[in-house]
Amino acid sequence: MHRSATFFVLASLLGGCRASAPRCPESPAVVALADPSAPALSPAPGTAIRVPLVRLSEHGQWGGSLQQAGVPEFTLYADGLVIFARGQGDSAQPMQARLSTKEAEAVLERANATLSSFPERTNLVSGSDAAEAAIGVTYEGRIYSVSMYGFGSGGAKAPEAFTELHNELVAWDHPDAEPWTPDELTIVMFRVDGAPSNAWPKELPPPPNGSSEPPERAVGRDGASIRQPIRYRVPGNMEAVLGDIVPPLNATGIDVDSDERYAATFAWSGAAWHARYQRVVPERMWFWPRS
Calculated CA dihedral for residues 269, 272, 276, 282, nearest 10 degrees = -30
Confidence of residue 99 (pLDDT cuts 50, 70, 90): very high
**24 vs 190: CA distance, rounded Å:** 40
- Interval 177-213: pLDDT, tens: 999 888 888 899 989 888 888 999 999 999 999 999 9
What stretches of 153-263 show up as alpha helix (H) in DSSP? Answer: 160-171, 239-242
What count of residues does the chain have? 291
**182 vs 69: CA distance, rounded Å:** 13
Dihedrals phi, psi of 45, to nearest 5 degrees: -55, 135
Return mean pLDDT, the chain: 74
User: Is 249 in contact with 68 (CB distance < 8 Å)?
Assistant: yes
Helix (H, G, I), strand (E, B) or coil at 142: strand
Domain assignments of the chain as residue spans, ordered by start: 52-179, 184-279
**pLDDT mean over 48-71:** 66
Between 186 and 25, where is the model more confident?
Answer: 186
Exposed / middle / buried, residue 105 (Cβ in 10 Å: 0-12, 13-18, 19+): middle
Measured in whole angstroms, the distance separating CA 35 from the mean position of its chain's CA atoms is 27
**172 vs 276: CA distance, rounded Å:** 29
Between 257 and 28, where is the model more confident?
Answer: 257
- Interval 135-178: pLDDT, tens: 999 888 788 889 999 888 777 789 999 999 999 999 999 999 99
**248 vs 277: CA distance, rounded Å:** 5
- Interval 218-251: pLDDT, tens: 877 777 888 899 999 999 889 888 877 887 765 4
Confidence of residue 100 (pLDDT cuts 50, 70, 90): very high
Q: Which residue from 108, 122, 119, 120 is spatially nearest to 165, judged by alpha carbons?
A: 108
pLDDT at position 254 = 42
pLDDT at position 103 = 95
Helix (H, G, I), strand (E, B) or coil at 46: coil
- Interval 106-135: pLDDT, tens: 999 999 999 998 999 999 988 777 888 899
DSSP string, 16-41: PPPTT-SS-PPPPP------TTS-SS
**128 vs 137: CA distance, rounded Å:** 26
Q: Beta strand pairing status for 52-59 and 132-139?
A: antiparallel
pLDDT at position 66 = 54
**pLDDT mean over 74-84:** 90
Confidence of residue 262 (pLDDT cuts 50, 70, 90): low
Between 273 and 17, where is the model more confident?
Answer: 273
- Interval 277-288: pLDDT, tens: 888 776 543 444
- Domain 52-179: CATH class, spelled out: alpha beta
- Which residues, in sequence order, are bridge partners of residue 59? 132
pLDDT at position 143 = 85
**78 vs 30: CA distance, rounded Å:** 9
